[in-house]
Amino acid sequence: MALDRNATVAVLGAGTMGSGIAQVAATAGHQVLLADTFAGAVERARAAHEKAFAREVEKGRLDAASAAATLGRIRYLTPGPGDFLELASAQLVVEAIVEDLEVKKATFKRLEHALEPTAVLATNTSSLSVTAIGAACDRAERVVGIHFFNPAPVLPLVEIVPGVATAPEVTAAARALIDAWGKTTVVASDTPGFIVNRIARPFYSEALRIFEEGIADKATIDWAIRDAGGFKMGPFELMDLIGNDINYAVSLSVFEAFGYDPRYRPFLTQKKLVEAGLLGRKTGRGHFDYRAGAVNPEPVRSNDLAVEIFPRVLAVLVNAAVDALFWRVATRDDIDLAMTKGVNYPKGLLRWADDIGPGQILERLDQLHAEYGEDRYRASPLLRRVVREGRTFY
């Protein structure tokens, strides 16, 4: 299957993700068709691309002629809803439209009829089932998940997600192409949240839990995770950056997709912020206040608190990573790679478990489980097995 640099790549949806993906594909040398039913979105994407390439030239990372040539490879289109005639020459379509299963299914159904039978149809969905989207098509074997992270031109990780019916050669071709774009790919099974959005849930939720219990305030929890844990950002400042509405929606969708397993239950603090419109940096306020002149609380820099907070968050995170391995969501190496390249964790969680000792993580989880009696702290059977057998993950 020819998915090389000569392939025309169509990107459907010119919002945050589509615009970034189009930029990455054009930079890799492809002719790109960027289409959105909303003309305003296409114009915004064009302006964002012009600015991004001008910055590359300014910083000396690209010469003006190459920047112009790259921009020249992107065609901006505003087709009517479901009108994909202009995308007919694409060998790969990456869909990045609204996160709505029915809309995506209707779109894929029409897309496959507009394209060559050999074209690959990819979805950038964060939380929907790739299998369900593919099932809308006659050729479900050509549908695959290609999940970029935001901002797509900056973050190296891409999760490749085959659905139940996806042909292995389609998965392999998608992976090879995205590798050729200079990205780091991992393969994830088509399960809720794939790798990163599944395993990263407790980074936010355990912090919310510690806050709701009154153990520490938000600034202190962020400080402990940055300082004791070596994370670049604390969970509260990161939620404010991502947007509390988006983060809360992902929490809800993962919770629902896991059949309301209490392990994934979202927290009221986040729901309240969303109800109040305090969405984070984009609205000027969230967990913290970003308005001019605002004064935010200083963390309580206490060693006792750091020792109470960080190992607890890490134990729950490691448990999520081990459980993903247990359920064969991805390989050990891909799980660790995904968290370091997709969300900048200082270390892969399985490697981290080995460094600390899986027994210590299990002990901490069992303590929390005994104290609260909640499924949230239920240790993965694999963690228990590894400890029982005196093994490590690597």
Ligand X SMILES: NC(=O)c1ccc[n+]([C@@H]2O[C@H](COP(=O)([O-])OP(=O)(O)OC[C@H]3O[C@@H](n4cnc5c(N)ncnc54)[C@H](O)[C@@H]3O)[C@@H](O)[C@H]2O)c1
How far, in Å, CA of 328 to CA of 128, rounded?
19
Q: How far is the CB of 326 from ligand X (least distance, A)?
A: 25
- Nearer CB in complex with ligand X: 103/294: 103
**Residue 351 carries which side chain, given as an amino acid letter?**
R
Q: How far is the CB of 44 from ligand X (least distance, A)?
A: 8
363-366 CB contacts, 8 Å cutoff, 24+ apart: 364/311, 364/312, 364/315, 365/315, 365/316, 365/319
- Nearer CB in complex with ligand X: 150/303: 150
Q: How far is the CB of 109 from ligand X (least distance, A)?
A: 12
- Nearer CB in complex with ligand X: 42/306: 42
Q: How far is the CB of 152 from ligand X (least distance, A)?
A: 8
How far, in Å, CA of 197 to CA of 338, rounded?
10
Q: Are strands 92-95 and 74-77 parallel, antiparallel or unpaired?
A: unpaired
Q: How far is the CB of 124 from ligand X (least distance, A)?
A: 4
Sequential DSSP letters for 232-301: SS-HHHHHHHH-HHHHHHHHHHHHHHTTT-GGG---HHHHHHHHTT--BGGGTBSSSB-STT--PPPP--
- Nearer CB in complex with ligand X: 103/180: 103
What lies within 8 Å, CB to CB, of 231 at 6+ separation is 225, 344, 345, 346
- Nearer CB in complex with ligand X: 47/68: 47
How far, in Å, CA of 222 to CA of 69, rounded?
44
Q: Nearest residue by C-beta to ligand X?
A: 15
Which residues are the active-site residues?
Answer: 126, 147, 159, 197
Q: Which residues bind ligand X (CB under 6 A)?
A: 12-18, 36-38, 41, 81, 96-99, 103, 107, 124-126, 148-150
Q: What are the φ/ψ torsions at residue 284 (nearest 5 degrees)? A: 90, -20
